[in-house]
Amino acid sequence: METPARLLDAYRLRLKRRRLLWQAWRRRGELTPVSDRTAAIRRDDILCFATVRNEAVRLPWFLDHHRRLGVAQFLIVDNGSDDGTTEFLRAQPDVSLWSTQASYKASRFGMDWMVLLLARYGHGHWCLTVDADELLIYPHWDSRDLRALTGWLDGQGRRMFGAMMLDLYPKGPVAAHPYRAGEDPLAVLEWFDPSGYGIRVQEPMGNLWIQGGPRGRMFFAQEPRRAPTLNKVPLVKWHWRYAYVNSTHSLLPPPLNRIYDTDGGEAPSGLLLHTKFLHTVVDRAAEEKRRGEHFSNSAQYDRYYDALAENPDFWIPQSRRLTCWRALESLGLMSRGGWV
């Protein structure tokens, strides 16, 4: 039997979800269609949603990677790019593109735009919501596409699939490893932290909270609770009543956050390979510090941006070279969870 406190939490979360949906709807006027190909979306298509800004270098591989996984259509918001991103995306036959000059921060870091597009076009579809510097992988990803994965999830009655963001980095100062558009970023970002992650469950939504990795140990060692959040729920069988709350770290209604098993087993999970630390991060750090659009209290992260601008070297003797998904699974960073 539910306690009065839990009933009150459930009521407050319902109100919060409705408020988020209404807030997203109110921002519909901020998006201007650039190329609308949504009429080509088929009933069983897997869709990918993203907000981008000045990602012309990353986008060719990002699109091709997720196309190979089985994404049929991309729905992307371009937030004021001036590096050729808009022109590149407009030319892609499987991309529907919207542009906006509105504040990324004021739109809940793009989540209002994403929730709006998810409600309009994602209802009934498996939807992947990621950043341009994230590449989804999962057990058997090299031989079984997203149709196979989502078909299995449907058969298990699972509406969501969780993934931890795994920061990748080169060996040596990041600016010493140049990257060109269209190349495989994993050929440059070959290393990761195999351990040192903390995990807990947050109430009242029941979402995971994972922190650690190279950013945690280098930039937030004295204040680990301020380190970036690594858990995400990027793949969801969407319903128009759903809403992301804090990026894709959590969403409502609360059962969608139960990406873990509570009876001693393991739920299936993947990884978002995080390619943030290409050489371009050094120059972009100063720009993002100036814009102040990426954190709720941007002033608190000035040291973080300053450290990135100093061309850091994340590699330590304990770093592990990225090889195959089976090695990542053996480290406990992803799980088949019964999917064989």
Q: What confidence tens digit (pLDDT) does each residue in 64-92 have?
A: 999 999 999 999 999 999 999 999 999 99
306 in a domain, yes or no?
Answer: yes
Q: For 176-192, what is the mean pLDDT? A: 97
Residues 18 and 119: their CA atoms lie apart, in Å, by 13
Residues 128 and 136: their CA atoms lie apart, in Å, by 9
245 in a domain, yes or no?
Answer: yes
Least confidently predicted of 107-116, 136-145, 217-226, 269-278: 217-226
101 near 82, Cβ under 8 Å?
A: no
340 in a domain, yes or no?
Answer: no
At residue 299, does pLDDT exceed 70? Answer: no
What would the pLDDT profile of 188-220 be if each residue is shown by its tens digit? 999 999 999 999 999 999 999 999 999 999 999
Residues 185 and 156: their CA atoms lie apart, in Å, by 34
pTM: 0.95
DSSP classification of residue 169: B
Tokens standing for 230?
Answer: 């690594």
89 near 73, Cβ under 8 Å?
A: no
Tokens standing for 99?
Answer: 């542009």
Q: How far is CA 305 from CA 114, 122, 149, 282, in A?
A: 26, 35, 37, 9
125 in a domain, yes or no?
Answer: yes
Residues 80 and 69: their CA atoms lie apart, in Å, by 28
Q: For 172-183, what is the mean pLDDT? A: 96
DSSP classification of residue 336: -
Q: How far is CA 6 from CA 18, 41, 204, 205, 257, in A?
A: 18, 40, 8, 11, 16
pLDDT at 303: 79
285 near 309, Cβ under 8 Å?
A: yes
At residue 175, does pLDDT exceed 70? Answer: yes
339 in a domain, yes or no?
Answer: no
pLDDT at 297: 57
- On average, the pLDDT of the chain sits at 94
At residue 294, does pLDDT exceed 70? Answer: no
Strand partners, 231: 164
326 near 320, Cβ under 8 Å?
A: no
Separate counts of helices (H) and strands (E) for the chain: 9, 15
Domain that holds residue 205: 4-330
pLDDT at 259: 95
Where residue 6 falls among pLDDT bands split at 50, 70, 90?
A: confident
Strands 126-129 and 231-237: what pairing? antiparallel
pLDDT at 111: 97
120 in a domain, yes or no?
Answer: yes
At residue 298, does pLDDT exceed 90? Answer: no
In our burial notation (b when 16+ CB lie closer than 10 A, e otherwise), range 115-145 reads bbbbbebbeebbbbbbbbbbbbbbbbbeebb
Residues 104 and 51: their CA atoms lie apart, in Å, by 9
Query: Alpha-carbon torsion 236, 104, 62, 93, what sign?
Result: positive
Cis amide linkage into residue 60, ω under 30° from 0: no
In our burial notation (b when 16+ CB lie closer than 10 A, e otherwise), range 22-40 reads ebbeebeebbeebbeeeee
| Domains in the chain, number | 1
98 near 76, Cβ under 8 Å?
A: yes
197 in a domain, yes or no?
Answer: yes
Residues 61 and 167: their CA atoms lie apart, in Å, by 17
Phi, psi of 231 (to 5 degrees): -80, 140
Q: What is the enclosing helix (H) or strand (E) of 211?
A: strand 207-212
Q: For 288-308, what is the mean pLDDT? A: 69
Packed helices 280-291 and 302-309: angle between N→C axes, nearest 10 degrees: 150
DSSP letter for each residue of 90-111: HT-TTEEEEE--S-TTTTTTTH
pLDDT at 302: 74
Q: Percentage of the chain with pLDDT > 90? A: 85
At residue 127, does pLDDT exceed 70? Answer: yes
256 in a domain, yes or no?
Answer: yes
At residue 266, does pLDDT exceed 70? Answer: yes
- Looking at per-residue pLDDT, the higher value among 50 and 223 belongs to 50
Q: For 251-268, what is the mean pLDDT? A: 90
